[in-house]
Amino acid sequence: MSSKPPIISIEGVTKRFGDHAAVDDVSLTINEGEFFALLGPSGCGKTTLLRMLAGFETPTEGTIRIDGKDTDGVPPNRRPVNMVFQSYAVFPHMSVADNVAYGLKIDGVAKAERDRRVEEALALVQLEGFGGRMPDQMSGGQRQRVALARALAKRPRVLLLDEPLSALDAKLREAMRFELASLQHKVGITFVMVTHDQDEALALATRCAVMERGRLIQLATPSDLYEFPNSRFVADFIGTVNMVEGTLKTDNPTEAIIATKELGDVYIDHAVLGNEGATLYLALRPEKISLFRRDGVVPPKLEDCPEGYNVVAGVIDHIAYLGSESVFKVILTNGRQMLVIRPNLTRWDQEDFVEEQPVWLSWHACAPAVLAG
């Protein structure tokens, strides 16, 4: 991506606890100035990987380089990284200013300079004037800002964030999301965040590494993760998806047909490059399916597919009206359940469909992601 050498490079890192490999042969690089997210379900090894970057765990195998230097044997207090802990870990016996000044005091920064940098860091997280407060006089959101200021005051090369938003309530989480993004923009430091919340990762990160059971499954930008998942696990973990199994029937350079039991023959407008008869999976996002009333018998016509493909009949089983959009649970005539999301573009859109109503479902030839495994 960038011509500069990566700020963090992880090469073949494995971490074993007993027989269990918490992190299993992970290699990746993180570029200077990136907002990088380690994403995965709990127990996938993302936190262990972050703790290895901070120096709280040592890799069983492999090498971690930070800023080009091998970190093997370098203790946490000698690494150019700082961490914002999930529990914030604000020192309860020190005032906010003393918390923020802690790392600077340890580094021997002179008092005048220290005070200036504490003020600067507190201003950065919008806590001006809170220096004299004790942590127990502050809300959870404010304590998190203290933890952020404390880590940023040291001007690290990399800021590590462990589930930074998980302890906040929904409204605050949304607000903090934007703030974290703008903060990273302002300070220009590389952020590495661990999260199990895909929305958080998609909203904040420039690139995400999706992990499962210690392994790196996919490393991509948020939109690539969503639109071009490389596996059923990623497609399923990121957002909601209708997953359908099928076999490859026709495979040409410009089109492919996949035979499925549940959706009939599905037409794809690109080559799949697989063996005919191979088992494949179609990941079809709910918002990429269109809904039509089935009052008349004629199925809708799709301009990018031959007739008869990519259209199935069903009945609306349940509608969840979410305001900005509606989620439809549709039962197909063969019994398969499909999720469809439809934006409520006008103020009476939701009146078009009711429960128990027969509908057509259709999707474009480019809509499904074709997955091998």
Partner 1 sequence: MSGENWRQERKTLLATLGPPLFWLTLFFLVPLAVVWAYSFGRNVGLTEIEISGTFANYAQAIQPLYLGIFFKSMLMAAACTVICLIAGFPVALAITFAPDKAKAWLLLAVMLPFWTNLLIRTYALIAVLRNEGYINLTLGWVWKQVGLVLNVPPFVPLEMLHNNPAVLFGLVYVHLPFMVLPLYAALDRLDRSLIEASLDLGAGHFRTMMLVVVPLALPGILSGVLITFIPALGAYLTPDLLGGPDSQMIANVIERQFKRANDWPFGAALSFLLLYLTFVMVAVQALIQRRRGAR
The residues that touch partner 1, with contacts defined as CB under 8 A, are 54-56, 75-78, 81-83, 85-87, 89, 91-93, 102-103, 106-107, 134, 147, 150-151, 154
- Report how far residue 66's alpha carbon sits from residue 5's, in angstroms, rounded to the nearest whole number: 10
| Sheet of strand 256-260, all strands in order from the earlier edge strand to the far edge | 264-268, 256-260, 242-251, 279-284, 369-371
Closest CB to partner 1 among residues 114, 154? 154
State the nearest-atom distance from the C-beta of 196 to partner 1, in Å.
Answer: 18
159, with CB counted inside 10 A (0-12, 13-18, 19+), is buried
Closest CB to partner 1 among residues 138, 263? 138
State the nearest-atom distance from the C-beta of 187 to partner 1, in Å.
Answer: 17
State the nearest-atom distance from the C-beta of 184 to partner 1, in Å.
Answer: 19
Closest CB to partner 1 among residues 102, 292? 102
Please give the distance of CA 56 from its chain centroid, rounded to a whole number: 24
Rg (CA), the chain: 25
- What letter would DSSP give residue 351? G
State the nearest-atom distance from the C-beta of 214 to partner 1, in Å.
Answer: 22
CA distances from 322 to 169, 326, 342 (A): 19, 5, 10
| Residue 5: CB atoms within 10 Å | 12
The sign one gets for the Cα dihedral 272, 243, 208, 175 is: positive
State the nearest-atom distance from the C-beta of 108 to partner 1, in Å.
Answer: 10
Closest CB to partner 1 among residues 82, 218? 82
Closest CB to partner 1 among residues 76, 300? 76
Closest CB to partner 1 among residues 154, 342? 154
> What are the structure tokens assigned to 289, written together?
């399916």
State the nearest-atom distance from the C-beta of 93 to partner 1, in Å.
Answer: 5
Closest CB to partner 1 among residues 87, 240? 87
CB 282 within 8 A of CB 243: yes
State the nearest-atom distance from the C-beta of 176 to partner 1, in Å.
Answer: 19
Say whether 363 sits in a helix, a strand or coil.
strand
Say whether 46 sits in a helix, a strand or coil.
helix
- Report how far residue 190's alpha carbon sits from residue 230's, in angstroms, rounded to the nearest whole number: 26
